[in-house]
Amino acid sequence: MTNALSRFLTPVACTCKDFTHPWTDSCANASAGVLLAAIPYSLRIYTMVYALSLIMRHRIPRLGDLKRNLHGIIQSTAFLVSNGYTFILFNCLLRRLIGHYVCATVAFVPSFISSYASILIERPARRPLLALYMANLATESIWNMAEVRGYVRSIPQGQTLIFGVSISALLYLYRLGLHKTTCKDSLFNVLRFFVDKREEGPVVAKAGEGAATATATEASVSAASTSSSANTQRSRAPLDFRSINVLVQIYSRFLDAVKSRHPSCPHRDNCWHYALMGGLRPFVGGIGLQLALRLIMNFKKIMQFKLDVRKTIFNKDTLNLGIFLGCFSFLYKGVSCTLRHSFGRDDPRFAIPAGLLASTAFTKYPDVTVALYVMWKALQICYNLGIKEGVLPHVSNFTIFLYAFCTAIEFHAGILEPKTVRPSYIKFLQGMSGDRFNRFNLEPFSIYGQNASEQMREVSRKLNIINQAPLPKCSLASWK
């Protein structure tokens, strides 16, 4: 531990020119070059983002919508460009002030300052989304760095466990009805699509529910023999979990759920039809979404008539998202109905076991990004709920701090330990920097123990990042 700390504080006598901009002696030119290279890249990203947001509204945009989106594109582009070029600016400034580099000033500190200043440019409504996105990336990188050092060890299907616990917490809030009041969030609109609007809370005992149950019991008694009447009464009696027969009782009531509908169920059809048809729509939608994503990602190959349709589109992996979504919806509704039959009532707490069992479907689509997004969303919603209930303190500008901190972690990991960073983010940094990111001279920082230069070369080979020109875009070089 002492050796690691001493390495962390070891100064490195490397200039910012040798590290980030060997093609120019001027730090101002280096920052301006990143600014010029980042503008078209950022403009392209946010034009697509805002265009998709318009399409998802499912209506023809008005002139006011177009003006707001144009303003949003310019503002978001300014934020992203600022985040890129000010990193170089503050990196050079800190190097000149301190006279050398230490581990924290290689990337973390200058990135934190630039990120904190830049996020203030972005619209306040978008800041939580950006903070959650960066928290997602940073969580994965921190785990990978800890795993490399032997501090933690991944477990099989760990992402499924994270997803299951997080989605169960969200579904519990959904069944409580808090998504309509103190926990409003767009994520609940997505949940409503999978678990059905009829499952949303607050759960209220239906008028006449007891009478309907009594009528059904009387009809059963009058139509059956004394023996069958006794069996019916036992099946409707409260479950005795101290008896081994409880498993038989649960199985019997599961069959009842398949064949009939309990008065506390929010649907009209029998439970089997409700669960099966409820899983069919997400299944079809998931396959359609996966196909659409594959077509978008291979648009260039399609235009060049180089796409292998059978291998790229029509393969078993295309079904995985649909299978996950369909099975999740089917299992959640099936388990919820079974619990209502078993306990003779509805209860928001049923969402927890139903959500945990339904989340086993995530093994068909074990995406770490999705699992971490749901986890951070659950934490955000629960934190906001805690503030409103007076249980947790309100921290001013916490969203801004979270974004800056997580972005600083990603920059630090991307430069000194690029193998621990998500490949898509490495490509993003390469594009944002105008093909500068993999040109940084990392040899002087090998003293920190992670062999950053070799890691960067290996990551570049895997991601097929090839420098087509001797100088980066908009290099503003001062030498030949």
Write the pLDDT tens digit of every residue in 436-466.
Answer: 999 999 999 988 878 899 999 999 999 999 8
Question: Could you tell me what percent of the chain has a pLDDT over 70?
Answer: 84
Could you give the angle at the alpha carbon of 145 between the alpha carbons of 430 and 147, nearest 5°? 135
**Per residue in 335-394, pLDDT tens?**
999 898 888 889 999 999 999 999 999 999 899 999 999 999 999 999 999 999 999 999
Mean pLDDT of 295-310: 71
pTM of the shown model: 0.83
- What pLDDT is recorded for position 59? 75
* Residue 312 neighbours by CB under 8 Å, 6+ apart: 294, 298, 301
Q: Angle at the Cα of 148 (from 142 to 150), degrees rounded to 5? A: 100
Residues 158, 152: Cα–Cα separation, whole Å: 12
Residue 330, pLDDT > 90, answer yes
Nearest to 31 by CA among 89, 91, 95: 89
Q: Please report which confidence band the pLDDT of residue 224 belongs to, taking 50, 70 and 90 as the band edges.
A: very low
pLDDT for the residue numbered 314: 67
The reported pLDDT for the residue numbered 216 is 39
Chain mean position to CA 251: 37
Residue 240 has pLDDT above 80, yes or no: no
Q: What is the pLDDT of residue 217?
A: 37
Mean pLDDT of 169-180: 93
344 touches 138 (CB < 8 A)? no
- Annotate the chain with three-state secondary structure: CHHHHHHHHCCECCCHHHHCCCCCCCHHHHHHHHHHHHHHHHHHHHHHHHHHHHHCCCCCCCHHHHHHHHHHHHHHHHHHHHHHHHHHHHHHHHHHHHCCECHHHHCHHHHHHHHHHHHCCCCHHHHHHHHHHHHHHHHHHHHHHHHHCCCCCCCCCHHHHHHHHHHHHHHHHHHHCHHHCCCCCCHHHHHHHHHCHHHCCCCCCCCCHHHHHHHHHHHHHHHCCHHHHHHHHHHHCCCCCCCCCHHHHHHHHHHHHHHCCCCCCCCCCCHHHHHHHHHHHHHHHHHHHHHHHHHHHCHHHHHCCCCCHHHHCCCHHHHHHHHHHHHHHHHHHHHHHHHHHHHCCCCHHHHHHHHHHHHHHHHHCCCHHHHHHHHHHHHHHHHHHHHHCCCCCCCCCHHHHHHHHHHHHHHHHHHHCHHHCCHHHHHHHHHHCCCCHHHCCCHHHHHHCCCHHHHHHHHHHHCCCCCCCCCCCCCCCCCC
* Domain edges within the chain: 2-153+398-462, 158-203+229-365
Cα–Cα nearest to 107, from 78, 150, 133, 141: 141
Least confident of 177-186, 282-291, 292-301: 292-301
Give pLDDT tens digits for 397-436: 999 999 999 999 999 999 999 999 999 999 999 999 999 9
Residue 282 · residue 328 · CB < 8 Å: yes
The owner of tokens 């030498």 is 479
Mean pLDDT over the full length of the chain = 84
pLDDT tens digits, 85-105: 999 999 999 999 999 999 999
Name the nearest CA neighbour of 249 among 235, 260, 263, 259. 235
Q: Assign 107 a pLDDT band (cuts: 50, 70, 90).
A: very high
For residue 208, the model assigns a pLDDT of 43
Q: For 32-64, how does the pLDDT look when each residue is reduced to its tens digit (9 = 90+)?
A: 999 999 999 999 999 988 988 887 777 787 888
- Of 165-174, 195-204, 214-223, highest mean pLDDT: 165-174
Q: What percent of the chain has pLDDT over 90?
A: 52
For residues 442 and 450, give the distance between their C-alpha atoms in angstroms, rounded to a whole number.
11
Q: Cα(423)–Cα(429) distance, rounded to whole angstroms?
A: 10
Residue with more model confidence, 321 or 80:
80
Tell me the β-bridge partners of 101: 12
Tell me how far the alpha carbon of residue 320 is from its chain's centroid. Answer: 18
* CA quadruple 460, 145, 91, 447: dihedral sign: negative
Q: Would you state the pLDDT for residue 227?
A: 40
| Calpha distance 183→380 (Å, rounded) | 10
pLDDT band for position 263 (50/70/90)? confident
User: Which pLDDT band holds residue 294 (cuts at 50, 70, 90)?
Assistant: confident
Band (207; pLDDT cuts 50, 70, 90): very low
pLDDT of 231 reads 43
CA gap 334, 357 in Å, rounded: 10
Judged against a pLDDT cut of 50, whether residue 396 lies above it is answered with: yes
Q: What are the backbone angles phi and psi of residue 350, rounded to the nearest 5°?
A: -65, -20
**Residue 74 clears pLDDT 70, i.e. is over it:** yes
Q: What pairs with residue 12 in β-bridges? A: 101
The pLDDT, as a whole number, for residue 353 is: 95
Taking 60 as the threshold, does the pLDDT of residue 25 lie above it?
Answer: yes
Cα separation of 278 and 198, whole Å?
11
